[in-house]
Amino acid sequence: MAGHSKWKNIQRRKNAQDAKRGKIFMKHAKDIYLAAKQGGGDPDMNASLRLVVEKAKADNMPNDNIDRAIKKATGDLDGANFEELTYEGYGPGGTAVMVEVLTDNKNRTASELRHAFSKNGGNLGENGCVAFMFDRKGYFVIDRETTDADEDTVMLEAIEAGAEEMETVEGAYEIYADPEDFQNVKKTMEESGFTFETSEITMIPQTMSAVDEEAGNKMVKLVQMLEDMEDVQEVHHNIEADEAIMEQL
């Protein structure tokens, strides 16, 4: 993962969250619904549900919204049936793009995604066309201002907790783990006094795809269009561009 840092992207994304709060709550509600549907409505007994509830609360999602999503999944309230899907495609300049969705209408979602890709110089591909270019990883960020521990101490704690590797970037420590070890790493390090700026299971690109300004601007429009879709939960890509482009992403 050397050379690839999500930290700046996370900071930029957080700056824009207030303008999208309603949409963020909707996406959290879908995540909570799916986790509760698959593993039950008790966060103490369902690690996946506990994780998505923690993420929702970190974004100040009201408890009533969280409880409503759980009750829909467990049948205590009427609601739509959602399905979790991943679409793959190529963005401008041959960049790899993976889109995670939660939808109650696959035909509608596929049509909207196909339109977004074609409108912005890309194309929606078949399953597996770019997935091999990404690794699914547990990903943690510790803001260096929130801990007195030095780099060696944090790395030792992370490895002992089950992490695979750690990278030190500007202002933060980035920690990577196997998804199966995610909960153990999170729990162990939190018990040791560490606070995570973010903790999630995500897709990390194996290599980055450099693009010129024209392709970069098209990629910005594609990602923004995808993220504005109600069914889209996450957009992953491997674009590498100048700072102005990355700021917009």
Instruction: Give percent of the chain with pLDDT exceeding 70.
Output: 90
Residue 45 is given by DSSP the state: T
DSSP code string of 102-153: EES-HHHHHHHHHHHHHHTT-EE--TTTTGGGEEEEEEEEEEGGG----HHH
At residue 25 the predicted structure's pLDDT band, cuts being 50, 70 and 90, is: confident
What is the per-residue pLDDT across 201-244, written as a single tens digit (0 to 9) for each? 899 999 999 888 898 889 999 999 998 898 898 899 998 877 77
Region label for 205, one of left (φ > 0), alpha (ψ between -120 and 50) or beta (otherwise): beta
Give first-to-last CA distance, the chain, whole Å: 20
| Structure confidence at residue 189 as a pLDDT band (50, 70, 90) | very high
Domains and CATH numbers, the chain: 7-74 (1.10.10.200), 84-132+206-248 (3.30.70.980), 134-205 (3.30.70.980)
Among 196, 169, 170, which residue's Cα sits nearest to residue 183?
196
Q: How far is Cα 42 from Cα 50, in angstroms, rounded to an integer? A: 8
To which residue do tokens 């690794």 refer? 135
Distance CA 76, CA 78 (A): 7
pLDDT at 123 over 90: yes
Helix, strand, coil percent values for the chain (each to nearest 5):
50, 25, 25
Cα 134 from Cα 21, distance rounded (Å): 29
pLDDT score of 18: 59
Tokens in use for 49?
């549900």
Please return the burial class of 102, using the count of CB atoms within 10 Å of its CB with bins 0-12, 13-18 and 19+.
buried
3-class secondary structure, 43: coil
- The per-residue pLDDT for range 42-79, each reduced to its tens digit, is 999 998 899 899 989 988 999 999 998 898 888 777 77
Residue 2, pLDDT score: 47
